[in-house]
Amino acid sequence: MGISAGRSVRLFLVDGAPTGMMTAEILSWTGRALVAPRSRLPDILKRPEARGTGVYFLVGDDPKIPAQQLVYIGKSTNIGERIRTHDNNKDFWDRLCIVTSKDQNLTEAHVGFLESRLIARALDARRASVENGTAPNYASLPESDVADMLYWGEQIALLLPVLGFEFLRELPKPATIQGTTNVESNAPTARLDLELRDSKYGVVARAFEADGEYIVLSGSTARAGGDYVNTYAGLRQQLIDAGKLSKTDDPKLLSFTQDVTFTSPSAASAVILNRNDNGRSSWRVTPSGKTLAEWQNEQAARAAASAEKMESVGAAS
């Protein structure tokens, strides 16, 4: 995976407030997103985006799984009217995102195809519960239209995380991450392999960091017991209830049945050790054996030295 080219995203705060209505556009793309809280539904329905053809996302907390989002993905030739009918039978959502075309070139067939692709992508990503359940099948489009809608899907998947919606973002996979492991550089695509061991309880966990997330690998073990204070006890129990952490033949250990993504190294280590923990000290970079904190500090020092050298060269010239 090479370094992606930079992209420009233009945000406009319709109300002048960061928590109100917002539009978002990627320059050179004809799509436009409108994001707003549910409390602004009457104002949303007055917007031109709500009267157009496009796809939309209803997003809120999953009442069945604490700390996980629930999303409904839909399409319509009159989005506002469709959302208004949802208002009486979908209680979970508190944020809405509408995606339409600025040049109004989307057809019902286009958004049907796009809806199906986006539902499938959200299901594959497994970052949120998807109320749709399955992706509907739609009649095929002409080859050129398929290419256009695939492009639209990629732009939507790129834009939504900028707006705080993660459900379309694919989870990093070890087999698909290219490049030298733990390279001594600041390349953002370098994979960082990590290991956590607790010899007292026989815990051995392996993970990797990619794009700011920490993915604990399937087969890693975690403490089964513990009576320590743990800020992440709720998350740990959620993983157990979901079957992602399960019992082993050793009563002292649990095992990860699939790769699990965490937002910080401390969240991962706290779940594994079943106590509050500084993950930057517990995780060690392989094969060097340095703690994550030591490795990160070395990288920061190297970057600072490189920047200082560049400034010196620039001043001398």
Concatenated DSSP letters for 17-35?
Answer: STTS-EEEEETT--EEEEE
Is the pLDDT assigned to residue 2 strictly greater than 60?
A: no
The pLDDT score that the predictor gives to residue 316 is: 62
Is the pLDDT assigned to residue 204 strictly greater than 60?
A: yes
Classify residue 12 by its DSSP letter. Answer: E
The mean of the pLDDT values for the chain is: 87
Query: pLDDT tens digit string along 261-301?
Result: 998 999 999 999 999 999 999 999 999 999 999 999 998 88
Query: pLDDT tens digit string along 109-166?
Result: 999 999 999 999 999 998 899 999 788 887 789 999 999 999 999 999 999 999 999 9
Instruction: Kindly state the percentage of the chain with pLDDT values over 70.
Output: 89
Long-range contacts of 298-304 (CB under 8 A, 24+ apart): 299/186, 302/184, 302/186, 303/186
In which band, very low, low, confident or very high, does the pLDDT at 178 lie, cut at 50, 70 and 90? Answer: very low
The pLDDT score that the predictor gives to residue 66 is: 67
Q: In degrees to the nearest 10, what's the CA dihedral of 132, 128, 215, 169?
A: 70
Mean pLDDT of 218-244: 88
Please tell me the pTM assigned to this model: 0.73
Question: Using H for helix, E for strand and C for coil, what is the string for 107-133?
Answer: CHHHHHHHHHHHHHHHHHHCCCEECCC
d(CA 176, CA 163): 26
In which band, very low, low, confident or very high, does the pLDDT at 180 lie, cut at 50, 70 and 90? Answer: very low
d(CA 87, CA 85): 5
d(CA 71, CA 76): 16
Domain range list for the chain:
9-163, 174-308
Is the pLDDT assigned to residue 206 strictly greater than 90?
A: yes
